[in-house]
Amino acid sequence: MPVKEQVLYTEKDIKKRLGEIARQISEDYTDKEISVVGVLKGCFVFMADLVRELTVPLTCSFVQVHTREGEEGSLISKNILYTYKFEITDKDVLLISDIIDTGVTLHYLMNHLKEMRPNSLKLCILLDKPEQRKVDIEADYVGFTIPNHYVFGYGLDYMERARDLPYISFYKE
């Protein structure tokens, strides 16, 4: 059967939704400075667009998480890489990620960030796929909630390709 790409959200859809989220975040963080922490690689397009819509002062840093899952969501290996001089103690941290699927990666990462004693820690994600959730995790800001499709574009990869697409797509049988 031929596989066809189907666009889920266009550039225009994404821009509109980002504007809404950015307004909400800017309001919630009035008179504060946000320590924006992006989860690589998937965050890079979303975060670049989002931070430029925020109207509060902010700093940017990045983390990269590598996890390997065993049975029933148990982690058999995990690694977190932080950008140089990563300092979030007493800061108001907004974690930015592309997607929550099982939730295992972000759950693990957030537990580590909490140990660094930030003043606050919130999560902002572009896409939520709640059907596959294995751990209890909820984002504070969600771009779009989607069904259980493998999606790509706008920072998300399809076998490391397609991150550069300005829209979000999936393959339809």
- Please state the closest distance from residue 42 (CB atom) to ligand IMP, in A: 4
Is 97 one of the binding residues for ligand IMP (CB under 6 A)? Answer: yes
Strand partners, 100: 128
Out of 14, 35, 42, 94, which residue is the one contacting ligand IMP (CB under 6 A)? 42
* Interface characters, 50-89, with ligand IMP (x: CB under 6 A): ----------------------------------------
- Please state the closest distance from residue 62 (CB atom) to ligand IMP, in A: 13
Is 156 one of the binding residues for ligand IMP (CB under 6 A)? Answer: yes
Q: Give catalytic status of residue 101 as yes or no.
A: yes
CA 125/CA 14 separation, integer angstroms: 13
Instruction: Give the DSSP letter string of 87-123.
Output: --TTSEEEEEEEEESSSHHHHHHHHHHHHT--SEEEE
Question: Which span sits near ligand IMP by CB under 6 A: 21-29, 53-61, 79-87, 147-155?
Answer: 147-155
The answer to whether 96 and 21 are in contact (CB under 8 A) is no
- Please state the closest distance from residue 97 (CB atom) to ligand IMP, in A: 6
- Please state the closest distance from residue 39 (CB atom) to ligand IMP, in A: 6
Instruction: Give the DSSP letter string of 36-54.
Output: EEEEETTTHHHHHHHHTT-
CA 55/CA 89 separation, integer angstroms: 23
Q: Which of 92, 98, 101, 128 is catalytic?
A: 101
Out of 13, 102, 120, 162, which residue is the one contacting ligand IMP (CB under 6 A)? 102
The answer to whether 129 and 102 are in contact (CB under 8 A) is no
Tokens found for residue 150? 């493998």
CA 73/CA 172 separation, integer angstroms: 27
Nearer to ligand IMP, 145 or 150 (CB): 150
> Which residues of this chain interact with ligand IMP, rule CB under 6 A?
42, 97-105, 150-152, 156-157
Query: Among all residues, which ones are annotated catalytic?
Result: 101
